[in-house]
Amino acid sequence: MIAPVVDLAWWDRHNADADVALADVRWYLDGRSGRAAYESGHLPGAVFVDLELWLSGAGGPSVGRHPLPDPETFARGMALSGIGDDTIVVAYDDAGGVIAARLVWMLRATGHEAALLDGGLTAYQGPLEKGSGPTDRPYAAFTARAWPADRLAGAAEAADRGNTVIDARDRNRYRGEQDPVDPRPGHIPGASNLPCRENLAADGTFLAADELRRRFEEVGVFEGSTVISYCGSGVTACHNLLALELAGFSPGRLYPGSWSQYGQRADVDIATGSSPG
C-alpha cells in the first residue's frame, strides 16, 4: 500500500495518472465554509470532498459530532467525486492535513490506496484554480465496505487502562482549561495528550519518522501496544493514526465518538490537568 504521506515530488510524478485523484478536504471548526474556501482557490485538478456530507453521519450526544457515515453514504460520496475502488487518492487541506486525514484514514481502513499530501495547500507554489472544480471526472464505481471492527474502538475500550489511548486535541482542551464546542471539559482518564498539530514542523510538513516515533514512545506507544486515538469528534484523531504508521508502528484504532460522545455521558469519570489521570 502507498505510504500514508506523500510529498509534492510524488504528486508531480503522478498527477497525470488516470488512476490518481486529488481531494481537497477543507473544513473549519469555527463554521467557515470549506467549499467556499475550495472555490476561492484549490490545487489544480482537485475535487472537493465534504466532511459533513460524505465523511460523517448525523451527529448527536449519543454518537458524537462526526460519527462515521454508513458505508453506502461514503461510497456514494466517493463515486460522485470520481473516486473508484482502484483510485489512488491524495488528500490535502490548509491545516497540515489534520482534517484531510479523516478521508485518508477511512480509505486506508477499508483497503483503498490513499495518502496525505505533505504540507497540503501551503506547500504548493503554483497558481491555484478557482471555481467549482473539474467536470471531467466521471461517476466512478466505489463499493461500499463495512467499517472494519479491528480498526475501531468504543468508549469502554478507550477507558480501558490496558490500552494505550492518545488524545489528539490541543493541550488546553485536554487539560480542561477551555473547550469551544463541548460542554464538559477534560479528557478520558488514562489517555495521554499527543496533539496532532505537533506532528508537524514549522513549515507544516510532517516531522521525520524517527522524531514521530520518539513522540509516540514518550506517551507509552511501543510495538505490540493497542493504540486508540481520539480527539473532539473523531476527525483530527486520524492524523495521529497516520503519523503512527509513518513512524513505523502497526495501525492503531479510531474512537469515532471521541470526546464529543464520551464527555456527554454522566456515568463515566473524566480527568483534567496535564497528566493522564
Which residues in 70-86 are b (16+ Cβ under 10 Å) and which e? eeebbbbbbbbbbbbbe
Question: Which of the following is catalytic: 231, 235, 237, 244?
Answer: 231
Determine phi and psi for 169, rounding to 5 degrees. Answer: -70, 165
Compute the radius of gyration of the chain from its Cα atoms. 18
How many whole angstroms separate alpha carbon 5 and alpha carbon 23?
A: 14
Is residue 231 part of the annotated active site? The answer reads: yes
How many whole angstroms separate alpha carbon 185 and alpha carbon 259?
A: 9
| Contact in structure between 64 and 138 (CB atoms under 8 Å) | no
Cell for 112? 483503498
- Fill in the DSSP letter of residue 13: H
Catalytic residues: 231
